[in-house]
Amino acid sequence: MISPTASGAPALRVHDLRKTYDNGVQALKGVSLEVAPGDFFALLGPNGAGKSTLIGIVSSLVNLSQGEVQVFGTDLVSERSATMRLLGLVPQEINFNLFEKPFDILVNYAGFYGLPRAEAEVRAEQELRRAHLWDKAQMMSRTLSGGMKRRLMIARAMMTRPRLLILDEPTAGVDIEIRRDMWKTLQEINAAGTTIILTTHYLEEAEQLCRNLAIINHGRIVEQGPMRGLLAKLDVEGFMLDVEGELPAALPAIDGARLVAVDAHTLDLDMPRAMDLNRVFDTLGTAGIRVRSMRTKSNRLEELFVRLTGNLETPAA
Ligand SMILES: Nc1ncnc2c1ncn2[C@@H]1O[C@H](COP(=O)(O)OP(=O)(O)OP(=O)(O)O)[C@@H](O)[C@H]1O
Ligand SMILES: [Mg+2]
């Protein structure tokens, strides 16, 4: 089912993508990104950032207002069905018939895509085995656990052998054991050559799974690049300083560091890990600021996320 594609083309290329819904909401305000073939890519962002809109457009569930989307070099607008054949989608909500059996769900799904029944049955067994659901193949899907239902959704999407698998918050609301189990499944699929893009609120998930990521907020990409580069950027330490008396109106500038007054007695300091704290204290002292106590700010990835998205809502842990 793999169709010829432009060689060397990215698995996904999105250029200046915009979406305004009928009610006037501008969900995407010019999003551009590229995902390399074979990548494991995370699209991270808070509620309402535009993640599902982006995924909806790429998988042809939502019409774009403006911009370009190509999947392995195939243009979404001019070659919609060819594009769709390259994609597998795992939606956030469980959307199979609970009164069907896993085996039938997979075979029927492949049927929609024109796969001959005999071939579909062979693949259904392969996918159910990979999803560790073969022993449940003939049970009513309703009786599967939450984690099994989610694995079934992935198995179903894999029936067409997509080159790009897209998952919208695959682990939202599932417990840690199921999440780890799904991570393993996804890593196996990726290792076998399928490019994966997932959206998530869970920073830990992106850190565990993904090589590259984009952070989206209010319909715009606010950060994009390798996970490793992002973690290096996090080589910044954050401290809260309690000072004696009241802070002066103007704070001293400290080269390479960021100093912000939280209130009249508290400073928020971000500085590179390598920076000498004595220098900071000297500068503060010269400005007549005496530090009484200090404490480290919490989790680096969460900190960065909050900083980038300017969102005080802490992402779910
Ligand atoms: N069908 C729709 N009609 C009108 N507005 C919509 C529609 N779908 C989404 N929106 C709006 O578009 C914006 C982006 O929503 P979207 O669902 O893409 O966000 P998201 O990043 O997936 O959020 P979440 O993490 O909560 O799933 C929001 O303001 C949302 O209210
Ligand atoms: Mg969403």
The rounded Å distance from CA 230 to ligand 1 centre is: 26
Half-sphere exposure for 79 (CA within 13 Å, toward CB): 15
Pick the atom of ligand 1 nearest to 26's CA.
Answer: 12
- The pick from 14, 23, 25, 205 for probing ligand 1's pocket by mutation, whose C-beta has the most ligand atoms within 8 angstroms, reads 25
- Tell me which ligand sits closest to the C-alpha of residue 218: 1
Highest mean predicted confidence (pLDDT) among 29-33, 43-47, 88-92: 29-33
Largest CA distance in the chain: 81
- The pick from 29, 31, 53 for probing ligand 1's pocket by mutation, whose C-beta has the most ligand atoms within 8 angstroms, reads 53
More confident residue, 31 or 236: 31
Domain with CATH 3.40.50.300 in the chain: 12-226
pLDDT digits (tens, 9 = 90+) for 138-197: 999 999 988 889 899 999 999 999 999 999 998 877 778 888 888 888 999 999 999 999
Residue nearest to atom 8 of ligand 1 (CA): 53
Which residues are CB-contacts of 173 (< 8 A; sequence separation ≥ 6)?
none
- The pick from 14, 43, 52 for probing ligand 1's pocket by mutation, whose C-beta has the most ligand atoms within 8 angstroms, reads 52
pLDDT digits (tens, 9 = 90+) for 202-241: 777 888 899 999 999 999 998 899 988 877 766 777 889 9
| Whether residue 316 has pLDDT greater than 70 | no
Pick the atom of ligand 1 nearest to 55's CA.
Answer: 18
- CATH assignment, 12-226: 3.40.50.300
CB of 160 closer than 6 angstroms to any ligand 1 atom: no
Pick the atom of ligand 1 nearest to 50's CA.
Answer: 18
pLDDT digits (tens, 9 = 90+) for 231-264: 776 677 788 999 998 999 889 998 888 899 989 9
Sign of the C-alpha dihedral, residues 44, 49, 52, 55? negative
Q: What is the pLDDT of residue 313?
A: 44
Domain with CATH 3.30.70.1560 in the chain: 234-309
Region of 182 please: left (phi>0), alpha (psi -120 to 50) or beta.
Answer: alpha
CB of 173 closer than 6 angstroms to any ligand 1 atom: no
Contact 27, 21 (CB under 8 A): yes
Neighbours of 220 (CB within 10 A): 15
CB of 315 closer than 6 angstroms to any ligand 1 atom: no
The CATH number for 234-309, chosen from 3.30.70.1560, 3.40.50.1370, 3.60.20.10, 2.40.40.20, is: 3.30.70.1560
Residue nearest to atom 7 of ligand 1 (CA): 21
The rounded Å distance from CA 92 to ligand 2 centre is: 8
| Whether residue 52 has pLDDT greater than 70 | yes
